[in-house]
Structure 1
Amino acid sequence: MRKIFLCLVPVLVSTVTLAQTITVSGTVNNQQGKPVQFVFIRDAYHSYATYTDQMGNFSLKADPASKLVASATNLKDTTIVIGNQSNIKITMTAGLSQGAGKALSSHTGSDFFKMESEVPTNISGSLYMISGHDELHGSRFLSKSWMHGFALSVKDSLIQSNDYFFNFDKDGGDLLFTRDQRKVFQADKGEVKACTIIDDNDQAYSFETVPAIDPNRFILLLVKGDKYKIYNKLKSKFVKASFTTNGITSSGNNYDEYVDENHYFVLNVKTNQLQPLELKSKSIKTVFATEADKIKAFNKEHGDDEINEGYLRDLGDYLNK
């Protein structure tokens, strides 16, 4: 199998678990005063990172004794001392980023991605699937388009470049990576433990390796907190066309389709207990048995909200407060 080796820039991350952190927010504009989306903002000495949204806004945890580094395509890298600032305004100038074509990592020569020859792309680089019937409904991919993102190695170093784009294969449970949107690679689960990818609408998706759920797939992280993590083992099942007719009655569909399957799990961070969860009131009360009063209060606030994934996200954030 063909492999790709990354050109690396050292990033110190050894003190990430010991660093004092504060929440740093701010905005990034260009010289014309216009907000810049998809500027990668990172703590210079730790693995805290994020991207700016459509309005140029960002927010992340960072070490106040560190610096922020802002980088984006066709803009010069900008470094800001954090100090006591909780709100930072950054102006970036046109030019070449020092990180262009390079990957962030503290592991010289590490091999994070393996060639994936079976992932199809069309002439524009978009992900697609071919059906032998009228059309294919659904997709095995999280998005038809490649997305900005960054990954975290098993040694807690950032893996990112302004030339890198990501996606998720719901069929195989793999994180996909490309430089040129033609050749596609998949993340090595032995080297990459987490990844965050962001679409053009600022929707972020975070994935982690969770062997207790499935050692062969990346798992979608829905909620992260000091008390609970909630995961979705997101899969996509291929269903072939099943249309039949006798000239009078007909049944089935005349198209192939990918149907998403969601399998939810809750991790109690303090006890390290992992439990499966169904989107049903009884299952939720059983898994969160010690949170009966908070669940009752949450349901009172949310009235007759349908128990779906959005409800589960909101509940998880509420219980983590």
Structure 2
Amino acid sequence: MGESNLSSFQPATFHLTGFPGLERFHLWISVPFCALYVAAIASNCAILFLIGRDRRLRAPMYLFLGLLSCNDVGVSLSTLPTVLPLFCLGLYEVAFDACLAQMFFIHSFSFMESGILLAMSLDRLVAICSPLRYSSTLTSPRVVGIGLALLLKSTLLLLPFPFLIKRLPICRSNVLSHAYCLHPDMMRLACADITVNNVYGLFAVLATYGLDSTFILASYIVILRTVLSTASWEQRRKALNTCVSHICAVLSFYIPILAVSVLHRFGKGAPPSTHILMSNVYLFVPPLLNPVIYSVKTKEIRKGIHRLFA
């Protein structure tokens, strides 16, 4: 980049980073990434196929699971166009506008996943606390409406992000820290005031992860109180067992987010590879684990898989 253009320059491309210092091993590193993509996309598509094919899986709980699987496929597909070319073919460059688009989709799907997990916690709340009103409260049209509302919310929240980056002159460098584009990573390359980006980014995170996690915790407090007031130990066990899959999905989503936040705040001296690894866990682990969790812990999904292969 020429020095005369530093004050108002936006690069034609960004340079992505795999694992610094391990460039000669990138082809080998591509093998587990390919396996992760195949496993995540195939398993989530299998869940969607089962729910679409089997009328016994049209209950609200499984429709929300279908939304989660559809979102997880979106998460995987949003990172795939840069991750696999980088590790498999050594293609490190991505166009500026393509990077903005990828950033938008990655964050949108992440925000939407948080909302779907909240909706699933409300599903468990109604099923356990008001079982007689479950079918009339969570009808299929309402589940579809909730899904559309979550899509609209995440889209509107993320819509300003590309424009907030577009207005900034990128002059420090064009090298990103990951094999995909994220808002904080692009923002730090600017040589202008990024207060607006910081403030709006914090607002979006609190309005999504902060509120959703608070409501999920509150719903489980109510569920726990209801279950503990039940006289029969067998009824308590059955009620809590229906929540195990969702609790595992929530933990697999929020623990990596919390770990990335703590590492970003307090891990300034940590090796760069640690930050990269935790960011990869945050994006790649939930889409892989969610179908496994629900296949193992949900009897109807297990039966559906058995019927499919039988």
Structure (1 or 2) with the greater helix fraction: 2
| TM-score between both structures, scaled by the size of structure 2 | 0.25
Structure (1 or 2) with the greater strand fraction: 1
| TM-score between both structures, scaled by the size of structure 1 | 0.24
